[in-house]
Amino acid sequence: MRLNKYLAECDVASRRKAEELISEGRISVNGKVIRELVFFVNESKDTVRVDNRKLKIKEKEYYLLYKPKGVITTTNDDKGRITVINLINTKSVIFPVGRLDYNTTGILLLTNDGDFANYLLHPTNKFQREYIAKLDKPLKLADMNKLLQGIYIDKRKSKFIDIKIKSKEYPKRVNVITEEGRNHFVKVMFSKVGYRVNELKRIRFGIFTLGKLIPGQYRKLTNEEIISIKNLYEKN
C-alpha cells in the first residue's frame, strides 16, 4: 500500500496532508525516516510511525441501515437533531454513503472505508437505486414515457431506468429505478412533469436490499457482500 494511503487509513490525515507529513520528515518506516512521496509499505509487516507514534490501520466497518423518517443524513447536526450516526452502535468514526432526505426512508449504507464508499457513489459505476414513490396523483402513461426517455435537469439529460405502477388499487404508488445519485433526484424528476412526491422509500442500492429490517434497525454487511463490492473495484 502506498504510504500516503496507509496514513489516511490510520486516520492520521487525508492523503494530501499525509504527503506534507512525509515531506516534513515526520514519518518513519521500520525506524527509517521516509521523505519519498512514492513509497510503499506492507501493512502487515512494516512498522510505521508519525512523530515516533506507532500507527495501526483502523478496522473497517460496514453497516446497512433502514433509515426512518425525521433523521438527518449527516455525521452531526448543529440543531441537535437525530442523525443516522446516532442510530449505529459503534465507537468508530463512520459516515453515510451518499444521503437520503430528512423524510425519505429506506436503505442507507454507512462505513469508515472511503474507497468502498467512493466506488459505490461514483456515477461511472452506475449502481442502481430502486425507490417506492407515493405521488399526489396517478401517473399518466405520457408522463411516464417522458421520464423514461429523459428530461433535462440543470442542462443535463436525466432519466429513470424503469418505472412500474404498483397496482390498480394503488395507482399513485410507483416503483422507479435510477442510476442517478444527485440530491432530491427522484423528487425533482417527478416535479418536472407536474407531480409531487409525498412519500419516498429506497428499497435497493446495488446488491443491497432492506430484507427483514424495520425503520431504525441496522445490520453489519456480510463478508460476502463486502468482498463482492471490493472485487469489482479492485478489478478496475
Annotation marks residue 113 as catalytic? no
Looking at 101, 115, 143, 154, which residue is catalytic? 101
As beta bridge partners, residue 190 has none
| Residue 82 near residue 44, CB atoms below 8 Å | no
> Rounded to whole angstroms, what are the CA distances from 59 to 92, 104, 215?
9, 30, 27
Q: Is the dihedral of CA 183, 185, 190, 191 positive or negative?
A: positive
Q: Which residues are catalytic?
A: 101
